[in-house]
């Protein structure tokens, strides 16, 4: 930014962020079909790097073929179901250095109707264009200030940026309330039943290119966010090593720091929703 340019306002940042959250793929993508179910997409030429092959002990066949809508990648030979096939592909991608950070965490995989048809390693969802869900919690103090966290410098995504009180993925085994409770404890050491006025505030949708897989990823995610008041005397305390520290900040300070790019894109959009903007 030029030294003469005026500082960004929160409203300006929010308008740009909403455009950034909804972007087409950076390159053409082919559907990914597993057991007859459309579950994601892959960048054109991406899976050619591992080639049509047998996966995971030759139990599954990965191939590219024509379907009614055109070319698509298929996995056949579902001896272990859709979950087994997708995780076989995830392991192959990992061996070739083509997936995101490996987490040993399974996320749900849905078909176009929104039905859960399997699970897959979290590190593969972006490169495979698989839709995911996440949850955030906006926590305020009785005096109106907002609890925010500074992400650990060892986090694989957005290290060192500010975030809401809690933000995490909905794992395959979780319902949304279960994910909210689990992540709130792991990240902030707080029990949701100890919070006041807990309520669902809304959601933020993302469809945008991802840097994972050498820029071949595509993020499709719905973030459901909640808000609650943290009672006087309760102080967040991280349990999983993913948070550097927590701070109580006035809303004006939060807005200023969001506008300066000090918060993650996801957190900034959730905060915008919380502020009714």
For residue 6, what pLDDT is reported? 58
Tell me the two tokens of residue 69: 């809508």
Lowest mean pLDDT among 1-10, 75-84, 109-118, 218-227: 1-10
For residue 69, what pLDDT is reported? 72
The CATH homologous superfamily for domain 132-274 is Nucleoside Triphosphate Pyrophosphohydrolase (3.90.79.10)
Tell me the two tokens of residue 135: 């949850």
Average pLDDT for residues 50-62, to the nearest whole number? 72
Residue 16: count other Cβ atoms within 10 Å of its Cβ: 12
pLDDT tens digit string along 155-196? 888 999 999 999 999 999 999 999 999 999 999 999 999 999
13 in Cβ contact with 60 (< 8 Å): no
Instruction: Name the CATH code of domain 29-124 (choices 3.30.750, 3.30.70, 3.30.565, 2.40.128).
Output: 3.30.750
Residue 31 scores a pLDDT above 80: yes
Confidence category of residue 3, pLDDT binned at 50, 70, 90: very low
pLDDT tens digit string along 85-137? 999 899 999 999 999 999 999 999 998 988 999 999 999 999 999 999 999 99
195 in Cβ contact with 228 (< 8 Å): yes
What are the start and end residues of each CATH 3.30.750 domain in the chain? 29-124
64 or 79: whose pLDDT is higher? 64
What are the start and end residues of each CATH 3.90.79.10 domain in the chain? 132-274
Q: What percentage of the chain reaches a pLDDT higher than 70?
A: 93
Q: What percentage of the chain reaches a pLDDT higher than 90?
A: 79
């Amino acid at each position: 930014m030029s030294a003469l340019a005026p500082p960004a306002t929160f409203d300006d940042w929010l308008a740009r962020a909403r455009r950034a959250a909804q972007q087409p793929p950076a390159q053409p993508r082919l559907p990914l079909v597993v057991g007859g179910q459309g579950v994601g997409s892959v960048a054109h030429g991406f899976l050619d790097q591992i080639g049509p092959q047998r996966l995971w002990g030759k139990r599954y066949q990965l191939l590219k073929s024509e379907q009614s809508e055109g070319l698509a990648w298929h996995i056949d030979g579902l001896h272990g179901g859709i979950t087994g096939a997708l995780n076989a592909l995830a392991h192959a991608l990992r061996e070739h250095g083509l997936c995101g950070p490996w987490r040993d965490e399974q996320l749900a995989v849905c078909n176009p109707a929104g039905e859960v048809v399997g699970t897959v390693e979290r590190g593969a969802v972006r490169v495979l264009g698989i839709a995911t869900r996440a949850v955030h919690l906006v926590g305020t103090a009785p005096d109106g200030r907002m609890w925010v966290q500074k992400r650990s410098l060892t986090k694989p995504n957005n290290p060192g940026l500010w975030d809401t009180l809690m933000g995490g993925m909905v794992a395959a085994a979780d319902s949304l309330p279960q994910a909210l409770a689990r992540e709130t404890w792991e990240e902030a050491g707080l029990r949701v039943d100890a919070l006041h006025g807990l309520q669902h505030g809304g959601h933020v949708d993302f469809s945008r290119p991802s840097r994972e897989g050498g820029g071949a990823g595509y993020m499709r995610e719905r973030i459901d966010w909640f808000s609650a008041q943290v009672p006087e005397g309760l102080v967040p305390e991280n349990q999983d090593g993913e948070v550097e520290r927590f701070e109580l900040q006035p809303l004006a300070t939060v807005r200023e720091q969001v506008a300066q790019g000090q918060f993650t894109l996801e957190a900034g959009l959730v905060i915008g929703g919380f502020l009714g903007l």
